[in-house]
Amino acid sequence: MELRVVITGAAGFIGSHLAEALLDRGCSVVGVDNLLTGDMANIAHLATREFVFIRHDVTNYIDIAGPVDVVLHWASPASPIDYLELPIPTLKVGALGTHKALGLAKAKGARFVIASTSEVYGDPLEHPQKESYWGNVNPVGPRGVYDEAKRFAEAMTTAYHRYHGLDAKIVRIFNTYGPRMRVNDGRAVPTFISQALRNEDLTIFGDGRQTRSFCYISDLVDGIIRLMQSDLNDPVNIGNPHEMTIEEIGRTIIRMTGSTSRIVYRSLPTDDPKVRQPDITRARTLLGWEPKVPLEQGLTETIAYFRKKMQAEGLS
C-alpha cells in the first residue's frame, strides 16, 4: 500500500498508532499536530522511517508540498477533561480544522477520513446505537462543545462529498483504550489504571451501572484502515459491542493490577451517557471487520505501558 498519507493529530493516542500501522503497511506519513493534547513521545520512534512531522495548528491553512493520497483528520481534544478545559479550541478544530483538512484533500484530489465519535449519539435513547440513529445531544451542555463539533464536522464532510465529489469517509469511534493514553487522560480506563497502580481509591461517577464498550487500539486501527480502503461514504461505527458497566471495568483493573484500591462513588457529571454500545453490523458486513482482542489481553498490554510510564515519570 504505497500511499502518502497526511494525519492531523498524529501525536495523539489514536493518531500515533494509525501512523505506525500505515508505515508498517508501506505508506509514507506526514504527521501534523500542534501538541495541544498530543505528545512527541508517541511518535519519537517513527523518526527513522518514512515519517515527517509538521508542528501546525490545523485551524489555519494547511500547506503540504507534493502529492497526497489520503488525509486522515484526527486532530481534536478527545477526553472530557480536555474539552471541558479547552471548549473553544475543541469547537474550532471540529469546525475550522475540518474545513482546512477537507480543503487539503480537495486540492490534492485525496481520499478523506474523519474521526467522528460515538458522542454524536449523545445520551442515546436507542440501544445499541446504529449509524442511522440521529442522537440525543444537549447542544448547550458542558459536553456539547465536543458533541456538536463532531456533528458539524460530519455535516461538512458529507457536504464536501456531495457538492465536490470528494471521496470522504466518517468513522464513529467508540470507547478505545491501549498504550499511549495519557496518565491524566480523564477517561475511565487510564484513570482506573493510574489510580490502581498508586493503590488510590478508584473514582466512579454515579452508581457505576452506566455501561461502556471498550475496544483495543489495534482492533480500532484495523477497522479504520479497512474503511479508508473501502468505497463506503456513509458513517461506520467502529467499536467493541461487548458492553460492561463502569464498575465492572474498575473491579477488573483492580484485580489485574493486584491493587489494594477501593471503589468510591462521586456524583455523575452533566449529560454523562447512561449506555454506550455500537451496533457494528455495517462494519461486519461491509468491511469484514470485528474486534478480536479480548479485554484482559488488551488490559495486560495497557497496564504494562502505564506501569513503565508512571515509574519513568516518578508518578507511581
How do residues 213-223 score in pLDDT, each as one tens digit?
A: 999 999 999 99
Q: What's the whole-number average pLDDT of the chain?
A: 95
Who contacts 44 (Cβ-Cβ below 8 Å, separation ≥6)? Answer: none
- Is the pLDDT confidence value at 244 over 90? yes
The span from the CA of 94 to the CA of 74, in Å, is 10
* 222 and 257 co-located in one domain: no
DSSP 8-state code for residue 128: S
The catalytic site residues sit at 146
Angle separating helix axes 295-312 and 188-197, nearest 10 degrees: 60
pLDDT digits (tens, 9 = 90+) for 247-260: 999 999 999 999 99
Q: How confident is the model at residue 316 (pLDDT cuts 50, 70, 90)?
A: low
Structural domain containing residue 24: 4-176+215-238
Model-level pTM? 0.96
* 223 and 272 co-located in one domain: no
Q: Which three cell numbers stand for residue 296?
A: 484482559
- Is the pLDDT confidence value at 313 over 90? no
The answer to whether residues 172 and 115 touch, using CB atoms and an 8 Å cutoff, is no
For residue 122, the domain's CATH number is 3.40.50.720
Helix ranges (DSSP H) in the chain: 13-24, 80-85, 87-92, 98-108, 144-164, 188-197, 217-229, 246-257, 281-282, 295-312
The span from the CA of 220 to the CA of 17, in Å, is 10
Closest CA to 119 of 142, 147, 91: 147
For residue 185, the domain's CATH number is 3.90.25.10
Residue 288 belongs to some domain of the structure: no
* 90 and 115 co-located in one domain: yes
